[in-house]
Chain A
Amino acid sequence: MEAPYDDRLLHQRVVGGDESALGEVYDRLSSLIFGLSLRVTRDRVIAEDITQEVFLVFWERPLAYDPDRGTLRAWLATIAHRRAVDHVRAEERRRVSALGPRLFEREPARLEDDVLAADEADRVRQAVTSLPEGLRQAIELAYFGGRTYRQVGEELGVPEGTAKSRIRLALRRLADALAEEEV
C-alpha cells in the first residue's frame, strides 16, 4: 500500500527541514499514536514519552521512511508499537526478576523486526474469526481482500458509511478481545 499524496508532501517538507511540517504531522497523527501507546502501556506518562520519541525519530531520520512502502500513519504506528512493547517487556522482566529467578528473557524489539511474532499474528486471525458474522466479513474484505470502504459496502449490500462504521466497530472489538487475552 503506497502512501497518499499528503504523506508524500509532508515527507518532502520534513526532509527539507521544514519544522511546520512536523507540527502538521503531529496534529494529524498524534492522537492515534498516543492512543496506541496508551493501549499497550496503560500509562499516560510513558505513552506521552513514546509519542514524542516517535515523532522525533521521523524528524531526525526522515529518510528511514519510504512512502513507496506504506503510509506515514502505519510507519509511525509500527515504531510506537515496538517502543510500547519494549517498555511492557522491560516492566515484566523487572517484576519477574524481583520475584525470583528469571523465568524468561526476551530481547527488546529492533526496528527491522516484524510488528507481530507468528503466534501473535495467529491470535489476531483467531480474534477475527470470533467476530460476529457481519463484522468479520467487513474486516476480511477490507484487510484481506484489499477492498475500499465503498467496495465493502457494495459487496455487503450496505451504504459506504455503514461499511465504514462496521469496520471501525470491528477494529474496536478486536482491540478489546486482544487486550482481554493479554490480562
Chain B
Amino acid sequence: MDAVERLYLDAMMEDPAAPGHSLRPQLLAGARARRRPAAATAAWAQPYAARVAAMDALLTSAVDDDWSRVIVEGWTLQELVAHLAAKDGLLAASVGAPVLGPPIKAADSLGRTSEVQAYERARSPEQTRRDWRAQADALCRHLADLPATTPATLDGMEVAVSDHLLARGLETWIHTADAAKTARLRLPDPIAEHIHPTADLCARLLPWTMLLSGLDGAGRTLCLTLTGAGGGEWRIALGVQDAAPGEPDAHITADVVEFCFLLGGRGDPAALPADLAGDLSLARDVLTAAPAFSGP
C-alpha cells in the first residue's frame, strides 16, 4: 500500500463511530459458523488444538489445484491431511478416544497412514479435511478430562499422553508449514505459551535421539539455550540412564523454532545457525542426532 492510500484510509477513519451493541455477539456467533475455533480441551492439550485450527485455516484457502499438489514425502495435500488423521487416530485409540475413518487394522503409523489414505482417496478433499478435523477435535474433547500423565502408546513408544500430543502438535505445525510454503503463504509461529512446552519436549528427547543415532552421551551434560518467544534454557543429561544433569560439558544456543523444526526433520543439522561452546564435537553430535525421531 502506498503513502497516498494509507493517508486516504486514515482520513476515512478519522471519524470513528460505534456500531450497535448487538454487532459484537452477532460477529462472534457468525465466526463460529464460518470457521470452527480451536477445540476446548485441557490446558496441556491446547498447543495441539491450536495447531489443528491453524492447519484448518490454511486448508480453508486451498483450491482444487492445491489439494493435488505434492507437498512432502510424495504425498499430496489430501494424502498429507489423511496421514495426520491416521496418527491422531492411533493416539486416540491408545487412550480410548473415538477413532474415526476405516477400522484400524495396522497399528503402526505407516500402515495406518496407508489405510486412511486409501480410504480418503475415494472421498473429496473437503471430506478428508472434515474427517481429519473431526478426529482431532474428538481427541481433544476426550483429553479434556484426562490427566496429562495418562500413559499412551504410539509406534511402540509408551510415554505420557501429554508428550505424545505435543509431538502431534509439532508434526501438525511442521506439515502446515510445508503446505504454506507450497502455497506461498506466510504461516505465523504459534504463541510463546504453545512453543515453550513443544521446545521442552524436544529438549527432553535429546538423550533418546543420541541413543537412537548410536552416539554415546552417557554422563555428559548439555546446556541448551533456545532464543526467541517461547524459548528458555535447559540443562540436559545426555544419557538416558543418567540420574541427573551435571555441570555442562557443551553449550548450544539456537533459535527455538529452528530447533523444534530440526527435531521434526526440517533443516540440515550442519547448517543450523547455532552458537556452540565447550566440547564442540559433543555439541555437533547432539545436533546431528536431533532429527533421529523424525519420519513422515
Interface membership of B105, Cβ < 8 A: no
Q: Which of B187-195, B196-204, B236-244 contacts A (4 or more CB under 8 A)?
A: B187-195
Point out the residues of chain A lying under 8 angstroms from B4, CB to CB.
116, 121, 124-125, 143
> Quick check: is B49 within 8 A (CB to CB) of the other chain?
yes
Are A39 and B12 closer than 8 Å at their CB atoms? yes
Selected contact of B31 from candidates A44, A56, A67, CB within 8 Å: A56
Q: How far is the CB of B23 from chain A (nearest CB, A)?
A: 6
A128 — which chain B residues lie within 8 A by C-beta? 7
The answer, yes or no, to whether B13 is at the interface (CB within 8 Å) is: yes
CB of B185 within 8 A of chain A?
A: yes
- Contact partners of A70 in chain B: CB under 8 A: 1
A81–B36 Cα distance when bound, in Å, is: 27
A15 to B7, CA, bound (A): 29
Residue pair A78, B38 in contact (C-beta under 8 Å): no
Contact between chains at A52 and B27 (CB < 8 Å): yes
Among A97-105, A150-158, A171-179, the one that faces the other chain is A171-179
CB nearest to A144 among chain B residues: B3
Complex interface residues of chain B between 23 and 55 (CB less than 8 A to chain A): 23-24, 26-28, 30-32, 34-38, 49-54
Name A27-75 residues within 8 Å CB distance of B. 27, 30-36, 38-40, 44, 47-48, 51-52, 55-56, 59-64, 66-68, 70, 73-74
B5 at interface by CB-CB < 8 Å: yes
Contact of B194 among A8, A16, A48 (CB under 8 A): A16
Number of interface residues of B (CB under 8 A): 53
| A63-B57, A121-B4 given; A175·B28 CB < 8 A | no
Is B53 within 8 A of A16, CB to CB? yes
Q: Does B11 touch A at the CB level, under 8 Å?
A: yes
Residue of B nearest to A48 (CB): B19
Q: Give complex CA distance A55, B258 in Å.
A: 32
Q: Is A161 among interface residues, defined by CB-CB distance under 8 A?
A: no
Main secondary structure of the interface of B (DSSP, over half): helix
Q: Are B7 and A124 in contact (CB under 8 A)?
A: yes
Q: Which residues of B contact A13 (CB under 8 A)?
A: 191
B50 lies within 8 A of A32 (CB): no
Q: How far is the CA of A62 from the CA of B188 in the complex (A)?
A: 10
Q: How many residues of A contact B (CB 8 A)?
A: 65
| A-chain residues with CB within 8 Å of residue B65 when the two chains form the complex | none
Given the interface pairs A39-B12, A143-B7, the reply to whether A51 lies near B31 with Cβ below 8 Å is: no
A178 touches B16 (CB 8 A): no
Q: A13-B191, A31-B16, A52-B23 are in contact. Are A171 and B11 (CB under 8 A)?
A: yes
Instruction: Find out whether the CB atom of A66 lies under 8 angstroms from the CB atom of B18.
Output: no
Please name 18 further chain A to chain B contacts, defined as beta carbons within 8 Å, in addition to the given A120-B8, A175-B15, sorted by A numbering. Answer: A12-B190, A12-B191, A16-B53, A17-B49, A17-B53, A18-B38, A18-B50, A34-B19, A36-B13, A38-B17, A39-B15, A47-B19, A63-B58, A68-B186, A77-B12, A81-B9, A171-B14, A172-B15
